[in-house]
């Protein structure tokens, strides 16, 4: 396999956390950990890209409450997709960090759009979407 070198700029606290995880998981190098993280990112993207048909799901959203206008923007997004948002729970993790759990239902492409619209907002630190077809129940 041909390898290509890249340069990445990261905040020092993010790199410290990454190095700590690499040590706990037994990686021999940062490069190995970064390759694994990129593979997982690609798999997650491909999995999210294949959401089709009627879906029921959960969006978990971790974001910085102190980011100017972000809470209002996230609320606006939920109102824009009101037909697909069944419920949401908002939890204050710390002074500046919030967790939101959003129950969704609808066409998979729309559920994906809701998720990606939230994911693209500055100050959103983590977004996860889990869906299943309703006929599974």
Q: Verify that 79 and 38 share a domain, yes or no.
A: no
Q: Extract the residue ranges of the chain whose pLDDT is less than 50.
A: none
In a domain, 1, yes or no: no
- Report the distance separating Cα 98 and Cα 95, nearest Å: 8
Report how far residue 104's alpha carbon sits from residue 83's, in angstroms, rounded to the nearest whole number. Answer: 9
Query: What is the predicted pLDDT for the residue at 40?
Result: 84
CA 70, 76, 78, 84 torsion-angle sign:
negative
- Report the 10 Å Cβ neighbour count for 111: 24
> Which residues are bridge partners to 104 per DSSP?
57, 85
For residue 47, what pLDDT is reported? 67
What is the total count of domains within the chain?
Answer: 2
* Whether residue 100 sits in one domain with residue 38: no
Start-to-end C-alpha separation, the chain: 44
Could you tell me if 115 and 129 are in contact, meaning their C-beta atoms sit under 8 angstroms apart?
yes
Residue 22 parent element (H or E): helix 12-25
- Regarding whether 121 and 90 lie in a shared domain, the answer is yes
pLDDT recorded at residue 25: 95
Q: What residue numbers bound the domain in which 75 lies? A: 52-136
Q: Is there a single domain that holds both residue 56 and residue 121? A: yes
Model pLDDT, residue 136: 55
pLDDT at 133 (0 to 100): 81
Q: What is the pLDDT of residue 77?
A: 97
């Amino acid at each position: 396999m041909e390898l290509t070198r890249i340069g990445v700029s990261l905040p020092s606290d993010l790199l410290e956390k990454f190095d700590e995880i690499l040590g706990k998981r037994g990686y021999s190098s940062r490069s190995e950990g970064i390759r694994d993280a990129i593979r997982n990112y690609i798999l997650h993207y491909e999995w999210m890209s294949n959401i089709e048909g009627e879906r029921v799901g959960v969006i978990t959203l971790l974001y910085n409450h102190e980011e100017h206008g972000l809470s209002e923007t996230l609320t606006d997004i939920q109102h824009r997709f009101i037909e697909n948002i069944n419920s949401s729970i908002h939890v204050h993790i710390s002074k500046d960090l919030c967790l939101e759990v959003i129950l969704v239902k609808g066409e998979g492409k729309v559920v994906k759009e809701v998720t990606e619209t939230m994911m693209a907002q500055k100050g959103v630190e983590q977004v996860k979407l889990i869906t299943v077809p309703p006929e599974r129940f």
